[in-house]
Amino acid sequence: MTVDLTFGDEYFGLLGPYEVEVGWWSSVDGVVARAAEAAGVPVLVTRLVDGHSEEPGHGGWVRYHAEALRRPAALGSRPLDGDTAALLGPAERRAAWATPRGLGEALAWAEAELAAAGRPLAGPARQIRTWNLSGLLRLPTATGADAWLKTTTPTFNALEGEVIALLGGVDRGLVPTVLAADPAGGRLLLDHVPGEDCWSPSAGTVADVVPRLVAAQAALADRRGDLAALRDRTPRTLAAQLTTLLDRRAAETGLTPGELDRLGAFAAGLSGLLERLAACGLPETLLHGDFHPGNWRSDGANAVVVDYADSCLGHPALDGLRPRAYLAPEAWQHHARVWTEAWRRHAPGCDPRRALELAEPLYHLSYALRYQEFLDHIEPSERPYHEGDPAAELRAVLACGPSDRRA
């Protein structure tokens, strides 16, 4: 990887290339450490400038822009050439935290909020992640307990503080503690959640987390007015949005004319599928939106669900299906049983197992729409993260079979 280093209006050249275990391009803690070592001063990554890999978003060759937090005396500044100036210059739809000024303002806001809460900052922020969807920094405090600053774009993400408040009103332990929120600025300050991310959750963790989310969703389903501000991903809205998306995809790359025709036929038969899904008896409610086990965090005794940027109003089977891609077949069957039994307790007479089967194409459709939403709101250099995702999810819809003949 290489790093373009700036400090204010000064440019200090392209650092590297360096061998760094980058993994996902958005995971920048290792990049920050290597660039700071080379510059001799603390730095923070503002954004991805360019990246090339056989697996977009992961590995390969990557170029970042980093801002020095102090002027690097050991390096000489130099004029920008035209190509580099174009790469580092302003861009339409750039995230606020992907600029030195925006990143500095977010950190200043977090520092002020921590001081007001009696937990003043006790050291430099550790940057964990930054990309088109969010930024994440870990902040040490004088009380010994770390805090986390998360930045998102309000125009296409849920207001996480409000979602957490809704779920926390039903089950306080299910969600992280919000220390401060700036909805208009897309900033959230969270208390540290002890433990590890549950990428390979135990059966006990599944049996704990899943019924608690279901219980909260069942309780909130009766409070439709409180959910009015959520993005609408209910089944009928998904059906309408598919037609709009197909009108766009006809003029874009990624799908063949034959695939578009088949998707049009799928859309034409959706009304029957929606009726059968509604007959399963599960209520529309608040969805986490990305309920995979990597967003569950457990210390072995307590489990918390994090990351609510994708939250929306929709059919709960979409959350129920999300862990499947992350679990081995046996673990998925256990999860499905736990989820099904939980909904039967909270909605007597419902048929959640059939709902999981019927909702599968809507699950893929919801992610096709979400990925397209990402592409519509991010700057060009960030598009490699998601470029082929809408088409891939729409092909998964087709793989489910005709909508008017789903069981």
Q: What is the CATH number of the domain that holds 221?
A: 3.90.1200.10
Q: Tell me the per-residue pLDDT of 86-123, one tens digit each, with 9 for 90 and over.
A: 999 999 999 999 999 999 999 999 999 999 999 999 99
Dist. CA 304–CA 205, nearest whole Å: 10
pLDDT of the residue at 405: 61
Dist. CA 354–CA 356, nearest whole Å: 5
Q: Are residues 178 and 258 in the same domain?
A: no
CB count within 10 Å of CB 348 equals: 8
Q: Tell me the per-residue pLDDT of 285-315, one tens digit each, with 9 for 90 and over.
A: 999 999 999 999 999 999 999 999 999 999 9
Q: Are residues 350 and 299 in the same domain?
A: yes
Q: Are residues 400 and 295 in the same domain?
A: yes
Dist. CA 177–CA 163, nearest whole Å: 12
Q: Tell me the per-residue pLDDT of 352-370, one tens digit each, with 9 for 90 and over.
A: 999 999 999 999 999 999 9
pLDDT score of 327 more than 60? yes
* Confidence grade of residue 403 (pLDDT, cut at 50, 70, 90): low
Number of domains in the chain: 3
> Percent of the chain beyond pLDDT 90?
89
Average pLDDT for residues 12-41, to the nearest whole number? 90
Dist. CA 311–CA 285, nearest whole Å: 10
Q: Are residues 344 and 226 in the same domain?
A: yes
Query: Model's pTM, two decimal places?
Result: 0.95
β-pairing, 178-182 with 187-191? antiparallel
Q: Are residues 187 and 228 in the same domain?
A: no
Q: What is the CATH number of the domain that holds 132?
A: 3.30.200.20
* Confidence grade of residue 248 (pLDDT, cut at 50, 70, 90): confident
Q: Tell me the per-residue pLDDT of 195-207, one tens digit each, with 9 for 90 and over.
A: 999 999 999 999 9
* Segment among 18-27, 60-69, 226-235, 392-401 with least mean pLDDT: 18-27
Select from 394, 384, 396 the least CA-distant residue to 63.
384
Of 147, 162, 191, the residue that ends a domain is 191
Q: Could you tell me the end-to-end alpha-carbon distance of the chain, in angstroms, rounded to an integer?
A: 49
- Structural domain for 216, as ranges: 199-405
Of 89, 119, 140, the residue that ends a domain is 89
pLDDT of the residue at 404: 61
Q: Are residues 266 and 370 in the same domain?
A: yes
Q: Are residues 145 and 278 in the same domain?
A: no
Q: Are residues 85 and 121 in the same domain?
A: no
Asked if 127 and 80 count as a contact pair (C-beta separation under 8 A), the reply is no
pLDDT of the residue at 22: 61
pLDDT of the residue at 48: 93
* Confidence grade of residue 21 (pLDDT, cut at 50, 70, 90): confident
* Confidence grade of residue 401 (pLDDT, cut at 50, 70, 90): confident
Dist. CA 370–CA 234, nearest whole Å: 13
Q: Are residues 108 and 25 in the same domain?
A: no
* Confidence grade of residue 407 (pLDDT, cut at 50, 70, 90): low
Q: Are residues 285 and 382 in the same domain?
A: yes
CB count within 10 Å of CB 201 equals: 25
Of 89, 107, 131, the residue that ends a domain is 89
* Confidence grade of residue 52 (pLDDT, cut at 50, 70, 90): confident
pLDDT of the residue at 235: 98
* Confidence grade of residue 138 (pLDDT, cut at 50, 70, 90): very high
pLDDT of the residue at 36: 96
Q: Are residues 204 and 176 in the same domain?
A: no
Q: Are residues 32 and 181 in the same domain?
A: no
